[in-house]
Amino acid sequence: MPPYSDALLTRLFRLHGPMVLRRARGILGSHADAEEAMQEVFIKAMSAIESARDDDLTGWFYRMTTNHCLNRLRDRKRRRQLIDEKVAPAEDRSTQHDPDAMLTLRWLLANADARQAQVVVYVHVDGLRQAQVAELMGITERSVRNLLRRFEAWADKQLAGRGRRR
């Protein structure tokens, strides 16, 4: 890609911004967080734009958005906020996801292994097929299946533990 310029930023923001915002909202759950995350993703993206391939900018923004939002979920303050959101998860009504299920999924993603969490976002939040996740992450389908299996086994233990604590 050519080096950063304001015209390039404006064009890419107009083209990819709505997608980054939608995915950030899906992963983070709140409009305000999603807007902030979108801005941060674009600042990071434009700082490294020369390393991007112009025929795969969509995949590049997908990966960048996923990683950035997972980092936000892992943030300590964010973890505390997840508990607060239990009281009012209303903003998730803009998607078809069940708000309670998404809240629990976010809690799991905040605590999971980073690679496993990425696969889970692509499969369960974006609804991508495993072959496409493999292509997006640059790994084999078998690796995607293994990461998913490991996450599910770990998540089952976490959910059983949460159930016992209640």
Partner 1 sequence: MNFSDLTAGLEAWPDDAPSRLDIDRLHAGEIDGEAADALRARIARSPEAAAYLAARERGFDDAPIDPRASLAAIRRGMADAREARAARDPRAVLRRWLPLLAAAAVGAAAVFFFVGRGGPPVAPDPPIDTVRIKGDLRLRVFRRTASGAEEVLSGDPFAPGDALRFRAKLPEAGRVTVVGVEGDGTLYTAWPPPGAALSDRFEAGADVQLPEAVALDDVPGTETLHLVLCPDDVAPVCASAGAEAAPNCPEGCRSTPFVVRKVAP
Positions in the binding site for partner 1 (CB under 8 A): 2, 4-7, 9-11, 13-19, 21, 31, 35, 38-40, 42-43, 46-47, 54-59, 62, 95-98, 100-102, 104-105, 108, 124-129, 132, 136, 151-152, 155-156, 159-160, 163
75: left (phi over 0), alpha (psi -120 to 50) or beta: beta
Nearest approach in angstroms of CB 16 to partner 1 is 7
Enter the tokens of residue 137: 């992450």
**Alpha-carbon span 148 to 25, nearest angstrom:** 22
Count of beta carbons in the 10 Å neighbourhood of residue 102: 21
**Alpha-carbon span 54 to 76, nearest angstrom:** 35
Count of beta carbons in the 10 Å neighbourhood of residue 46: 19
Of 81 and 91, CB closest to partner 1: 91
Please state, in angstroms and as integers, the Cα–Cα distance from residue 97 to each residue in 24, 25, 82, 91, 139, following that order.
14, 12, 17, 11, 27
**Alpha-carbon span 166 to 163, nearest angstrom:** 5
